[in-house]
Structure 1
Amino acid sequence: MEIKSITLKNIGLFEHLELPLAPTPQNPSNITVFVGNNGAGKTSILNALTISLSWFIARLSTEKGHGSYIAEDDILNGANGATIKVQVCDSVETSVYPDNTARDNDVQWTIAKTKKGRKTNYNSQLTDCSRLASYYRNALSQDAQVSLPLIAFYPVERVVLDIPLKIRTKHTFLQLDAYESSLSQGVDFRRFFEWFREREDAENESGISDEVLNQLKPLAETHQDIWQVLKELQASAKDRQLTAVRTAIRRFMPHLDNLRVRRKPCLYMAVDKNGETLNVAQLSQGEKSLMALVGDIARRLAMLNPALENPLIGDGIVLIDEVDLHLHPSWQRRLCDRLLDTFPNCQFILTTHSPLMISDCKNILVYALNNGKIQELPSQYGQDVNTVLLDVMDTSIRDPEFESKLNDLLDAIQDSNLSQAHQLLRELMAEPTHQNNLELVKAKLLLRKQELRHASHS
């Protein structure tokens, strides 16, 4: 499943906005990125997508289910009503159709809202949404192992809670439970930990745990045939869903490995970091945030695709607001590529403030927003960060006051106004933090060359 386009009327800052989303013929990757200042409307677009997709999830669960509604506060000031329309492409299983013929299922639906006491011609149109959800319910009725599309939204206020020492509430982790809070809560280590522990308990019951295998290793290594049988038994009992989660986290964070639940001396989630075993709670906020995000996407894919040998190739739609939040610049550089490598059939719609996110990945679709206006940008792949900051994000690469004085200094050197140049240089060098500034070092060299040139002509 993927969203081909979204059309907004009177939503947030947008009076009328129609946007195709990647993949497109010009941008074949599965990633669309929105950039812009705070308040430019990036989150409004993600929220609109969330409202529309919530109706598909609701009607997949029950025939007459209700999703989220447009809030009156989301309607453009001065407008009487608003609409959100999405066009979705979904290739439905062959068995769903009466004539057993698979086909690309292009559908669209509209969510409308009229302000109280006003009148408009806007009406919600949910026939296609209900029809698509009905197709999936039919498929589930015929085959409980059929794959379902992932739909998830991770807001800026995504939650990363501490892992609980005790689990007091019993939860179900059935296939449709993968949609629980998928559009409202973001990431939650508590639910992730409970799911992980339940799967690992089942994995250990059906096979040999790593701890037991390590204890048997000294005894069994003298009998290689027995040792080989034990390792094969362990490998065959590995839980497919847990393997998917561990694989996804390892691809994003190669320095972390072997995520597992430890039960002694107390219950906690452990991970090996550069060969050292740590409690996940000991990781940095950035590490925990990324692990929770990637782990949650992989967990939901694993639950929704119970028959896939590799659930990470399942399809779906993932919305992430400020995807660069808490991430080191080196992680920001690789994030888009790793999303595509790890979840190749998911469509990602992201917002960011990081120039590295759009300059280090090929074929992504980038939109720049500014006060309700939107512009599709040419590829920024290979551009240096300063160029992206200046040209795309309209942000100076230096402090504006320092930039102005530096330009005055360079102009004075160029005009051979040496006394003024020396005065400006002294003022700039008065700040201790400027002593080793590369631009000032260059300016000093230029000034010295200009002085030598004048001396040779005198």
Structure 2
Amino acid sequence: MRLDRLHIQNFRCYEDATFDFQPGFNLVVGVNGSGKTSLLQAVAASFEDFMATMAVYSGSLNENDARFVIDNYSGRIRFERQYPIVIEANGDVFGDRSWLKIKLRVDEAAYPDSALVSAVMESATGLSQSKNIDLPLLAFYRSNRRWSTTNVSAEFSATQKLSRLDGYKNWHDSASDAQDFESWIIGKTLEQLQSVHRSSSIMSIFDDELNWINDALKCALPDSTGIYYDLPLRSILVNIEGKDPTPFNDLSDGQRGLIALISDIARRMCILNPHMGKDVLKNTSGVVIIDELDIHLHPAWQRNIVPALKQAFPKVQFIAASHSPQIIGSLQPEEVIILHNGDPSHPRVTYGLDSSSVLEEVMGVTQREPEIEKLLSELFSTLEDNDLKKAKAQLKALKLRAPDLPEFAGAEALIRRKEILGK
């Protein structure tokens, strides 16, 4: 599964727009209100017919997805939704290279793409006949993800019987219910214990899905040695080198979010493609959509999150949104989509830039507070005019506002030099 191009009309804030995507990582950047989340929602909507054909609930286009305009008739205001909503996609879904989704009116269902439905139906038929068909991953992680566990019991988890299609459950809001994530971790821990008991060897757990997930976690958290369920404590624990095992819910929001994101992507892959064995994380393709990729993450983790996701899941296409200069600086220019008034473009340079340069060159934000920048400019203008008394007063006032600016050393040296030359 892959999305190469998306053309949308009358979808949320977009009247008519086209976006091209890289097969690997795509980061959408823009000011608040520029349409980042709406674009991610359009990407998800383009795959709704695929999910519906696989008998997985996916929602559908509704009135709130229609672009909203205000018409003024000589002072008489009317609020109108614009139709048709058109979502046209190019890429690859089971060999189908292009597909279309149209909603003509508010009271009509969206028209599915017949070619896409046929391609998916053929694969679904093979799945029902127990063929080893590779299923692509599709998941949308929204910005409101919290990932708190829900105290699922070991008894409940031990009775769960998974279908391969359970890897798509809640795909359109993949972090909305942590119960499935928690239950799967518990179930896999119980399977490990049973395997050790049967074989009388601890080595039996190393070729195991939970162990593969823990290997993926090390891509993002090298000090992590595993996530597992502790039976005596009745809690999911995370092992981090140099620390005691920590209950999952006691981790920081950033730690919990990063561990849960990677674990959930890997969990879904394991459910979808059990026939792939130990290579499932490296061989499963798909599309993962992530809003606010940097949410709760320390800047050092923000810098590492993209390389970690690429390493752990090399065949997945990621389409994400973020404001983080650290994340932007870890990507090539063609992997960054800047939105300005709904129009996409790529920056001239991104990879390897420090965060201050990303802020100024890519995001159009000054490196420091504009007021301080203005006061510094006034100070050096005064020095150019050789008004040393005024310059000293300005420097003193600036130090009260911002005591440790690096420019102060240069200003003081210039004042001393001018005083010597003036004697």
Given the two structures, how large is their TM-score scaled by the length of structure 1? 0.82
Q: Cα distance, 1:360 vs. partner?
A: 2.0
Q: 1:175 to 1:374 in 2, by over 3 A?
A: same
Q: Is the 8 A contact 1:33 1:364 kept in 2?
A: no
For 1:84 and 1:168, the matched residues in 2 are separated by: 44
For 1:355 and 1:244, locate their aligned partners in 2 and report how far apart those are by CA, in whole Å. 31
CA distance in 2 between counterparts of 1:435 and 1:53 reads 54
The C-alpha deviation readout for 1:58-101, integer Å capped at 9, x for no partner, is 11127xx87411434541426343211111214x4xxxxxxxxx
Give 2:32's match in structure 1, choosing from 29, 38, 61.
Answer: 38
Aligned-pair CA distance for 1:113: 4.2
Q: Which 5+ residue runs of structure 1 have no aligned equivalent?
A: 24-29, 93-103, 210-228
- With over 3 angstroms needed to count, the CA separation of the structure-2 counterparts of 1:82 and 1:33, relative to structure 1, is same
Report what 1:310 is aligned to: 279
- Structure 1 residues 281 and 161: alpha-carbon distance in aligned structure 2, compared to 1, 3 A threshold: closer
Q: Does structure 1 conserve the Cα–Cα contact (< 8 Å) formed by 2:333 and 2:350? A: no
Question: Separation in 2 of the partners of 1:114 and 1:439?
Answer: 61
Contact 1:83–1:110, Cα closer than 8 Å, also in 2: yes
1:262 equivalent among 216, 230, 251: 230
Structure 1 stretch displaced more, 316-325 or 358-367: 358-367
Q: Which residue of 2 aligns with 1:20?
A: 20
Residue identity opposite 1:310 in structure 2: D
Q: What is the rounded CA distance, in whole Å, between the counterparts of 1:383 and 1:207 in structure 2?
A: 49
Is residue 152–residue 183 contact of structure 2 (8 Å, CA) maintained in 1? no
Provide the rounded CA distance (Å) in 1 between the counterparts of 2:269 and 2:152: 26
Q: Give the distance between the partners of 1:251 and 1:112, measured in 2 at CA.
A: 42
Deviation string for 1:363-399 (max 9, x for gaps)?
A: 6521111232322223311222212111221212211
Partner of 1:114: 105
Residue 274 of structure 2: SS of its match in structure 1? coil
Q: Note if contact 1:162-1:190 (Cα within 8 Å) is conserved in structure 2.
A: yes
- Indicate whether 1:157 and 2:126 are aligned: no
CA distance in 2, matches of 1:15, 1:335: 33
* Structure 2 residue 313 is the aligned partner of structure 1 residue 333: no
Whether the 8 Å CA contact 1:51–1:68 is kept in 2: the answer is: yes
Distance in 2 (alpha carbons) for counterparts of 1:408 and 1:239: 66
Contact 2:8 2:18 (8 Å CA) reproduced: yes
Distance 1:167 1:284 in 2: 25
| Contact 1:56/1:67, CA 8 A, preserved across alignment | no
Q: CA offset at residue 450 of structure 1?
A: 3.5
3-state SS of 2:265 partner: helix
Q: Does the 8 Å CA contact 2:338/2:346 hold for their aligned counterparts?
A: yes
Relative to structure 1, the CA distance from residue 246 to residue 178 in structure 2 (aligned partners, 3 Å threshold; closer, same or farther) is: same
Deviation at 1:188, TM superposition (A): 4.2
Residue 298 (structure 1) aligned with residue 266 (structure 2): yes
1:409–1:425 contact (8 Å) kept in structure 2: yes
Give CA-to-partner distance per residue, 1:297-350, whole Å, 9 cap, x none.
Answer: 010011111011221111110000010000111111111111111100000001
Listed as ranges, the matches of 1:90-239 within 5 Å are 90=93, 92=94, 104-115=95-106, 124-164=111-151, 166=153, 171-186=160-175, 188-208=177-197, 233-238=201-206
- Aligned counterparts of 2:114 and 2:412: Cα–Cα separation in 1: 71
Partner of 2:255: 287
Whether contact under 8 Å (1:31, 1:364) holds in the other structure is no
- d(CA) in 1 for partners of 2:155, 2:205: 28
CA-to-aligned-CA distance 1:175-194 (integer Å, 9 cap, x gap): 10111101124264432121
CA deviation map 1:253-308 (0-9, x unaligned): 112212221111x3011222224322222211110011111110010011111011
Which residue identity is paired with 1:312?
Answer: L
Aligned-pair CA distance for 1:447:
3.1
Deviations 1:142-166 (A, max 9, x none): 4344220000000001131134163
Q: How does 1:306-455 map to 2 (within 5 A)?
A: 306-308=274-276, 309-313=278-282, 314-362=284-332, 364-431=334-401, 434-452=402-420, 454-455=421-422
What is the Cα deviation at residue 107 of structure 1? 2.8
Instruction: Name the SS for the 1:382 alignment partner.
Output: coil
Give the equivalent residue in structure 1 for 2:84: 81
Moved over 4 A (4+): 167-171
Instruction: Give 1:159's aligned amino acid.
Output: R
Deviation, structure 1 residue 128: 2.3
2:77 equivalent in structure 1: none
Amino acid at match of 1:84: I
Determine the C-alpha separation between the residues in 2 that align with 1:289 and 1:200: 21
Structure 2 CA distance for partners of 1:317 and 1:367, relative to 1, 3 Å: same
1:277 equivalent among 225, 241, 245:
245
Taking the aligned partners of 2:303 and 2:395, their CA distance within structure 1 comes to 36
Which one is further off, 49-58 or 411-420? 411-420
How far apart are the structure 2 equivalents of 1:447 and 1:283?
A: 52
* Distance of 2:110 and 2:66 partners within structure 1: 17
SS at match of 1:324: coil
> Residue in 1 aligned with 2:73?
none
Change (3 A) 1:111 1:415: farther
2:60 to 41, 61, 68: 68
Q: Structure 2 counterpart of 1:109, which letter?
A: L
RMSD: 2.5
Pair 1:69–1:167, CA change in 2 (3 A): farther
| AA of the residue aligned to 1:183 | H
Q: Deviations over 1:104-139 (max 9, x none)?
A: 54232223343469xxxx973511220221132133
- Displacement after TM superposition at 1:173 (Å): 2.5
Distance 1:263 1:199 in 2: 12
- Partner SS, residue 320 of structure 2: strand
Distance 1:59 1:305, change over 3 A: same
